């Protein structure tokens, strides 16, 4: 590919680290430029900080995590719990994709435990198709006349909202770069207290490794990340 640019566009800071960070690390090794974007700064991800305080903390954590891959971080600045599939949100999403001009885009699963994740998935899906439409006006950003290769990362625990397992179509062996995934996730220090308070989890690093190990066992390797490719009309076929 002439344009070796990849964008992971998920919902919250740390979603990328759970879903596709090591695939990004492998692409980085092959000379790809890395971009990570979120629809929100994670403004509700704290039981002790105000929205403004935790947003500032989490933007910094996301920037630090992206920097591990020499990547850039972007944020739509939408609000947690209120990620809507509407025109203003979609225009912001299109603008980031037009600005980054990625060949590959990763986003959240369209089937996930949290509606913010699902709406992020739908926003990115539409934005990838709409970014090259000249009559969709995004002031200050030129249309990107290319429909990126679009991949959905794993839903949390690889399950839909009914607890059914989601069968991926693509696996990536990340065994050689699992330490980078852990390092990037550790950048999100603020989430340890939040996950303990709200989710009852005090082991987010270990839970990440368990899921990566589960996916790895499905293809006879130690650790893996799993994806499904969007293959609807107008979208490009598999690239890796």
Helix (H), strand (E) at residue 105: strand 104-107
Domain extent at residue 32: 5-229
pTM of the model: 0.93
The dihedral over CA atoms of 223, 121, 51, 97, expressed in degrees to the nearest 10, equals: 100
Domain count, the chain: 1
The answer to whether residue 195 sits within a structural domain is yes
The answer to whether residue 240 sits within a structural domain is no
Per-residue pLDDT tens digits for 65-104: 999 999 999 999 999 999 999 999 999 999 999 999 999 9
The answer to whether residue 151 sits within a structural domain is yes
Distance CA 191, CA 28 (A): 26
**What would the two tokens of residue 15 be?**
């979603």
pLDDT at 234 over 70: yes
The answer to whether residue 237 sits within a structural domain is no
User: Would you say 98 and 142 are in contact if contact means Cβ atoms under 8 Å apart?
Assistant: yes
3-state SS class at 153 = strand
Q: For the purposes of burial, counting CB atoms within 10 Å of the CB of 25, is it exposed (0-12), middle (13-18) or buried (19 or more)?
A: buried
47-61, 121-135, 195-209: least confident range: 195-209
């Amino acid at each position: 590919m002439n344009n070796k640019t990849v964008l992971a566009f998920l919902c919250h800071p740390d979603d990328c680290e759970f879903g596709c960070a090591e695939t990004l690390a492998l692409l980085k090794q092959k000379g790809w430029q890395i971009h990570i974007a979120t629809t929100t700064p994670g403004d509700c991800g704290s039981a002790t900080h105000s929205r403004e305080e935790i947003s500032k903390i989490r933007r910094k954590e996301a920037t630090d995590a992206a920097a591990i891959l020499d990547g850039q971080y972007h944020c739509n600045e939408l609000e947690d719990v209120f990620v809507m599939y509407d025109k203003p949100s979609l225009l912001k999403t299109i603008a980031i994709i037009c600005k980054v001009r990625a060949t590959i885009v990763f986003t959240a699963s369209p089937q996930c435990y949290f509606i913010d994740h699902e709406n992020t998935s739908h926003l990115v899906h539409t934005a990838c198709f709409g970014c090259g439409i000249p009559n969709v006006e995004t002031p200050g950003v030129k249309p990107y006349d290319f429909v990126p290769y679009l991949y959905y990362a794993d839903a949390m625990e690889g399950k839909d909202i009914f607890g059914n397992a989601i069968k991926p179509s693509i696996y990536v062996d990340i065994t050689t770069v699992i330490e980078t995934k852990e390092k990037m996730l550790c950048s999100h220090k603020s989430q340890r207290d939040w996950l303990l308070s709200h989710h009852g989890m005090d082991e987010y690093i270990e839970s990440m490794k368990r899921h990566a190990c589960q996916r790895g066992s499905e293809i006879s390797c130690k650790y893996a990340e799993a994806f499904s490719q969007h293959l609807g009309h107008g979208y490009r076929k598999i690239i890796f």
